[in-house]
Chains A and B, each alone.
Chain A
Amino acid sequence: MSITVDNRRDKRAEYRAMFKANVRGRLWVDKIMVGVILTCALIAITPLMWILFELFVQGGQALSWEFLTQEPGAIGQGTIAIGPAIQGTLIIIGLSCIIGLPIGIMSGVYLSEFGGNWLATQIRFFLDVFMQFPSIVLGVFAFLAIVLVLGHFSLWAGAVALSLIMFPIVARSTEEALKMVPWSIREAGAALGLRKWIVTLRIIIPGAKKGILTGALLSISRVGGETAPLIMTVLGSSVFFQGLDSPMDALPLRIWRMSLLPYDDARLAGWGAALVLVLVILAIHVGVRYFFLNRDNGKGIIAKLLNGGKRN
């Protein structure tokens, strides 16, 4: 029976009684659901904690000054070291940032600020597909396009392959970060007679700084652990930097190589390299956040340089 003017009062009383009767049941459901989601969260982080624990226990034994700074000697001779791999990983990450971040961030700016058209829709779709590409495919691409053409493995080829993984991630996360800046801010800028590129560059991008950086850091983490594209491009090596045209070692490559070898010290080197890789990525995250995001309280070094020490 539907509610009418006549029975409205009775109906209301009826509904109120129903709500009341249900309170106990709902409280239980509430408790159970909180329990379930908490359990899920714990299950999700268990493997992660386990891996980290294992890494510190196993890899920690390998750590020493020599391990971090020397070139690796012959396998099975007792000299294990990952100096070139650390150097290689840092150089490759740096190079792919130089290539991938500007392209990615600028694509994101285009999509967010100028992207209300057909072309942008196509680019967005392409980026989403590109993001799901198996990384080895991009490695093969760099192999065909650079390694075969130049005739040798090189750091450049690796950086290009990794930047291809990076830029769709950065582009999409930049776009999302920029879209978080309220439309009213853009209108306020326009109402001041500012040109669109000035509003974008000086008001919108600074407002989305945190989101853009987070996207960039995620992409760095992602490529920092990539192995497959590097096998096809930088190959691996056991000596320090020889030039951007030469093969180079990298931490994921070293982990992969060492873990395949049937020697105890090789396995130990693999564990150590894995621990170091995690620490390197962590250091990049903490460092970048410290430099760029402490501007408000004037602690960041970049902030101090930008402000010339005057403001803040």
Chain B
Amino acid sequence: MTAVSVKGEVSSSPLGAPPSFAGKKYKMITENVNIFYGKICAAKNISMKFPEKSVTALIGPSGCGKTTFLRCLNRMHDMTAQARVEGKVMIDDIDLYDKSIDPIYHRRKVGMVFQKPNPFPTMSIYDNVTAGVRLNGIRDRKILDEIVEDSLKMSYLWDEVKNDLKKPAIELSGGQQQRLCIARALAIQPEVLLMDEPASALDPIATQKIEETITELKKDYCIIIVTHNMQQAIRCSDYTGFMYLGKLIEFGDTKQIFTQPKNELTSKYVQGQFG
């Protein structure tokens, strides 16, 4: 994004992407995305590019549309009757909102971790992790076992639960549940991972573990994380987008956003003057 006016209006520059993106392969691209709840427009004209094998953080004050925008990246708004999405959301070369594609098939490429841990309450740890795979038709016990071990190791939960895989998932602590949900999202072998304030309900130790997980996962995935915690954005993201009142105000390298923001609003926000 080259031209950003001081008023906070996003210019109509070709697709928002920081200069350092040059030469990178993009996993997801959004073009002029508008999201409406009824008549209210909660995300306005957002164009972003997300390179593969990187972490992009979305920051901004409450109600600025971060979560709303994140949820359009795997068509989660289909669940809400009043919500409507306009614009293009490309994953690789496929438009997720194209009427001729099967959205559910492509949703499997995009895993999601929610703000509050939401393990399936009737299922064991094992069944939770394998739910996406199992219920999509894979029943081979050997494959499932492999996926469980791999996913739980990636989410740093394996060592804590490897002997209790049959225990009900709701008996885990909050932080463990959240890492279980990460494992569950990874088990469907997504290519993109969306995280909606994954550590907001957790204590510092659990948060640290989740952040370690994110750093580790970055090697293979395109991760997009919404966070209220600016320290977290600094610690684990490569790129940061600042949103305000439904608009993308500035998008750039995390370091640049936090040290030399080009926009006045961004500058005020990252310095903690509002938000």
Could you tell me the dominant secondary structure of chain A's interface residues?
Answer: helix
User: Does chain B have a CB within 8 A of A188?
Assistant: yes
7 inter-chain pairs at a CB distance below 8 angstroms, sorted by A residue, are A188-B119, A190-B107, A191-B114, A192-B111, A193-B104, A193-B107, A194-B131
CA distance A296 to B105 in the complex (A): 33
Residue A123 CB within 8 A of the other chain: no
- A311, B132: Cβ atoms under 8 Å? no
Residues of B within 8 A of A206 (CB): 122
Other-chain residue from B124, B132, B166 in contact with A192 (beta carbon distance below 8 A): B132
B-binding segment of A164-172, A179-187, A224-232: A179-187
Could you say which of B78, B111, B135, B181 contacts A194, with CB atoms under 8 Å apart?
A: B135
Confirm or deny: B153 has a beta carbon within 8 angstroms of a beta carbon on chain A: no
Inside 8 A of A203's CB, which chain B residues have their CB? 120, 122-123, 131, 135
Contact A186 B79 (CB under 8 A): yes
Q: Which chain A residues have a beta carbon within 8 Å of chain B's beta carbons?
A: 116, 182, 184-195, 198-199, 202-203, 206-207, 209, 296, 311-312
Indicate if the CB atoms of A191 and B122 lie closer than 8 Å. Answer: no
- Asked whether, in the complex, the Cβ of A187 is within 8 Å of the Cβ of B114, the reply is yes
Contact status A193-B188, CB under 8 Å = yes
Question: Does any Cβ of A come within 8 Å of B81's Cβ?
Answer: yes
B104 touches A195 (CB 8 A): yes
CA separation between A296 and B136, bound complex, in Å? 24
B275 close to A (CB within 8 Å): no
Name the residue of chain A whose CB is nearest to the CB of B121.
A207
B218 beta carbon closer than 8 Å to chain A: no
Interface size class of B (residues with CB under 8 A): 20 to 34
Residue of chain B at shortest CB distance from A117: B81
| Among candidates A116, A188, A296, A311, residue contacting B120 with C-beta atoms closer than 8 Å | A188
Q: Give the contacting residue for A296; candidates B78, B132, B135, B168; CB below 8 A.
A: B168
- Are A188 and B181 interface neighbours, CB within 8 A? yes
Extra contacts besides A189-B120, A193-B136 (9): CB < 8 Å: A184-B118, A187-B118, A190-B79, A192-B111, A192-B135, A193-B188, A194-B104, A202-B135, A203-B123
A185–B119 Cα gap in the complex (Å)?
Answer: 7
Report A270 CB to chain B, min CB distance, Å. 45
Q: Which residues of B contact A193 (CB under 8 A)?
A: 104-105, 107-108, 132, 136, 188
Q: Are B122 and A194 in contact (CB under 8 A)?
A: no
- The answer to whether A191 and B135 have CB atoms under 8 Å apart is no
Chain B residues 108-143 with CB under 8 Å of chain A are: 108, 111-112, 114, 116, 118-124, 131-132, 135-136
Q: Report Cα–Cα, A68/B79, bound state, in Å.
A: 55
- The answer on a CB contact under 8 Å between B124 and A188 is no
- Kindly provide the distance from the CB of B200 to the nearest chain A CB, expressed in whole angstroms: 14
The reply to whether A192 and B188 contact each other, CB–CB distance below 8 Å, is yes
Question: Using Cβ atoms and an 8 Å threshold, which residues of chain A touch B105?
Answer: 193
List residues of B whose CB falls within 8 A of some A CB.
Answer: 74, 76, 78-79, 81, 104-105, 107-108, 111-112, 114, 116, 118-124, 131-132, 135-136, 166, 168, 181, 184-185, 188
Report chain B residues within 8 Å CB of A199.
135
CB neighbours of B121 from chain A (8 A):
185, 207
- Taking a contact as CB atoms under 8 Å apart, the answer to whether B79 and A182 are in contact is no
Closest to B111 in A: A191
CB neighbours of B104 from chain A (8 A): 193-195
Which of B116, B123, B136, B188 contacts A184, CB < 8 Å? Answer: B116
Give the residue among A188, A194, A195 with the most B Cβ atoms within 10 A: A188
A198 to B108, CA, bound (A): 14
Query: Which of A187, A191, A195, A206: most chain B CB closer than 10 A?
Result: A191
A182 partner residues in chain B, CB cutoff 8 A: 118
Output the least CB separation between B76 and chain A (Å).
Answer: 7
Flag if A191 contacts B81 (CB, 8 Å). Answer: no
Q: How far is it, in angstroms, between the C-alpha of A152 and the C-alpha of B116 when the chains are bound?
A: 61
Closest 4 CB pairs of A and B: A193-B108, A192-B132, A191-B112, A184-B118
Residues of A within 8 A of B107 (CB): 190-191, 193
Closest to B109 in A: A193
> Does the CB pair A192–B184 fall under 8 Å?
yes
Report the nearest A residue to B116, measured CB to CB. A184
| Complex alpha-carbon distance, A162 and B174, angstroms | 47
CB-based contact B74/A207 at 8 Å:
no
* In the bound complex, CA of A240 to CA of B235 (Å): 79
CA distance A60 to B79 in the complex (A): 57
User: Is A192 in contact with B131, judged by CB distance below 8 angstroms?
Assistant: yes
Q: Are A194 and B132 in contact (CB under 8 A)?
A: yes
State how many angstroms separate the Cβ of B194 from the closest Cβ of chain A: 8
CA distance A194 to B78 in the complex (A): 13
- A contact residues around B132 at 8 Å (CB): 192-194
Pair B185/A192 contact, Cβ less than 8 Å: yes
CB <8 Å contact, A185 and B118: yes
- Contact partners of A311 in chain B: CB under 8 A: 124, 166
In the assembled complex, the CB of B229 is this many whole angstroms from the nearest CB of chain A, namely 21
Most buried by A among B76, B81, B105, B120: B120
Q: Chain B residue with minimal CB distance to A116?
A: B81
Tell me if A191 and B120 are in contact (CB < 8 A).
no
Task: Across the interface, name the chain B residue whose C-beta is closest to A199.
Answer: B135
